[in-house]
Each structure stands twice: as structure tokens, then as C-alpha cells.
Amino acid sequence: MHNLLKTIDKLKSEIDDMKPLKSSELKQLKDYYKIGLTYSSNAIEGNSIDETETKIIIENGLTIGGKPLREHFEVIGHSDAYEYIYTLLNNKSIKESDIKQIHYLFYRHIDEKNAGKYRKDRVYITGSEHMPPAPQNISRCMKEYVLELQDIKSDHHPVVYAAIAHRNFVAIHPFIDGNGRVARLLMNLILIQAGYPIAIIPPILRRQYIQALEKSHVKKDNSEFIKFIAECVKQTQKDYLRMLS
């Protein structure tokens, strides 16, 4: 893991050496990753809209024939939440209200009543032995989560911090739906705050991603999940450098 983080830091230095970028380049990269992250994050959760269709929905405002309305709303909502995290880049900490707003923007077109609000029912994660906290404990758990983020940030490499923040959020599962997508947006907020590009988890690696996350919950071993996320960060850095050069 140490060598992997050293490679990531080296790639980050190479990216930093190419800065500052023109505002037009920054916008193009931001929009490029908006499509990629929206598509991949939704696909991991079973959304059938592909990357090209995602681009058409976001950029042209068109609907895709034969695709469920909910899947369109997931694309639109994720795009809105993605834009929102860029308004938080200069913040020194992540607030509970920020997390609720990310979920609200993602979920409002699907279920406005529950958008941005903690769940009031128990949830059971399909295929997982992990049992998230009972509804009455969520508020306390989320307050603790936000406070602990500062300790994790000061004690760990930014990529490790981002991975643990993702893992711990999913463990709480505070919302009735959309927790995975909010977790990945939070993870990427942390990464871009620290000067890294957006990290995309390819849908083809969904099984490995879920298995590593499950191991972190059940066996309390975060190492495999952190390594998985770090590999995704490294791959995105390579893609970023390829596009810039």
C-alpha cells in the first residue's frame, strides 16, 4: 500500500506541474468527469442508461426511449449533486448540512418527501451481513461521523481519508436510498479538495468493489477497500495525464 500511495503522489506531482490550466480546459475536464461519474455511479446501482445516453440527458435535456423515468431522474439528480460539490471545494470541513443537500439534490425528483432527510425505517442491504444502525440512532451516528472526519483527515493520506469516509458513511446508510451515490460523491469531494482528479469506479469492477466494502464491514478490515479505491484514483490520474498531454 505504501508503494501505491507513493505512485499516486508522484502522479499528482506530474499533474500539478501542468497547472494552472485554462478556465476552458478546467470546464471541459469538469464536464467530462460529470458524465463519467454520473454514468458509473448509477450503473453500479443497476441503472441501465449507458454513458452516451447519460451525456445526451445531461447536455441536451432529452429523454431516452424505453428507459424508466426514475433512471432519467437518477441521471439528472446525480448531475445536480455533482455540480453542488464543486461549491464546497474551499470549505475546511464537511458539514452534516452539506451531506443532506447532496442527497436532496440527487433524490428530489425521485422522492421529494424523503430527499435530504434521514430514514425513519430500518434498511437491509441486499447480499450483505452488515446491519446499519436503527433509525433512532442515525442522527447521533451522523454527528459522530462528521466529527470523526476531521480526525481521519489529520491522521491519514488524502486517498485513505477519502476511502474511509466512503466506507464509514455507507456503514451508517442514513438515507432510505441513494447512500452509495452520496458516499461516492463525498469521497470525490474529499479527493478534489486535496487536489486529486475525480476517481471513477468502473461498473465492470462492481463485484470487487462490493466485496471489498463487505469485507470492511463484516471483518472490520479496511485494507482491501482502501487499496481498491487507491487503484481507482491511480487509474483516473493516468487518464487525466493522458488527456492533458
Cα 16 to its chain centre, rounded Å, is 23
Determine the average pLDDT of the residues in 185-193. 97
pTM of the shown model: 0.96
Note the pLDDT of residue 13.
97
Report the C-alpha gap between 149 and 155 in whole angstroms: 10
Question: What kind of architecture, by CATH, is found in domain 2-244?
Answer: Orthogonal Bundle (1.10)
Q: What is the grid cell recorded at 234?
A: 491511480
Report the C-alpha gap between 111 and 224 in whole angstroms: 34
Q: Is 173 a catalytic residue?
A: yes
Average pLDDT, the chain: 95
Closest CA to 202 of 82, 67, 81, 39: 39
pLDDT by residue (tens digit) across 5-60?
A: 999 999 999 999 999 999 999 999 999 999 999 999 999 999 999 999 999 999 99
DSSP letters along the chain, please? -HHHHHHHHHHHHHHHHTPSPPHHHHHHHHHHHHHHHHHHHHHHTT----HHHHHHHHHH----TTS-HHHHHHHHHHHHHHHHHGGGTT-SS--HHHHHHHHHHHHTTT-TTTTTS--SS----TT----PPPHHHHHHHHHHHHHHHHHHHHHS-HHHHHHHHHHHHHHH--SSS-HHHHHHHHHHHHHHHTTPPPP---GGGHHHHHHHHHHHHHS---HHHHHHHHHHHHHHHHHHHHHH-
pLDDT by residue (tens digit) across 93-136?
A: 999 999 999 999 999 999 999 999 999 999 888 778 889 999 99
Q: Which of 72, 78, 103, 173 is catalytic?
A: 173
Note the pLDDT of residue 92.
87
- Residue 245, pLDDT > 90, answer no
